[in-house]
């Protein structure tokens, strides 16, 4: 589900469990260890999922003058685009958790899981910032 309607946002949302799997499950509720590399036999890798996405988009937009979805030619550029999208998506999740924290603080949160989601806002925001820094470093190296 994408709130901004861009397919790359949808892809990042679908791939989030692969990224958050390495986080502390005690701090982040959606840190499912089954998404760690090799943990679930038959589960495609993030690289395989991304490749299928980019191949499909390229095939569907071939010959089209539409600029709604631009597919980079470079694999490195595609990877950077996906990393930016993933950082945005995880920061978006941190913002959602902040909303849950606000509802919990005002005693409007109805779920018993609200505290866990509320407490995940800082670790998710910090992780999103780490992803931004990583992709910024990679982008800088690519320019040099």
Q: Quickly count: other Cβ atoms within 10 Å of residue 92's Cβ.
A: 18
pLDDT of residue 67: 56
* 38 pLDDT more than 80: yes
Residue 60: CB atoms within 10 A of its CB come to: 12
Percent of the chain with pLDDT over 90: 39
Q: What are 75-127's pLDDT values in tens digits?
A: 888 888 889 999 999 999 999 999 999 998 898 887 888 888 899 999 999 99
What is the Rg, in whole angstroms, of the alpha carbon atoms belonging to the chain?
A: 17
Q: What is the pTM of this model?
A: 0.79
The per-residue pLDDT for range 15-31, each reduced to its tens digit, is 999 999 989 888 887 78
């Amino acid at each position: 589900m994408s709130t901004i309607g861009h397919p790359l946002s949808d892809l990042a949302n679908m791939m989030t469990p692969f990224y958050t799997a390495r986080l502390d499950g005690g701090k982040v509720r959606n840190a499912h260890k089954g998404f760690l590399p090799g943990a679930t036999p038959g589960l495609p890798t993030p690289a395989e999922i991304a490749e299928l996405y980019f191949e499909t988009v390229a095939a569907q937009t071939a010959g089209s003058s539409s600029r709604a979805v631009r597919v980079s030619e470079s694999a490195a550029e595609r990877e950077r685009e996906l990393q930016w999208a993933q950082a945005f998506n995880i920061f978006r999740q941190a913002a959602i958790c902040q909303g849950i924290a606000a509802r919990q603080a005002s005693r409007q949160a109805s779920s018993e899981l609200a505290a866990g989601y509320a407490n995940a806002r800082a670790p998710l925001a910090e992780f999103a910032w780490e992803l931004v820094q990583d992709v910024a470093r990679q982008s800088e190296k690519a320019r040099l």
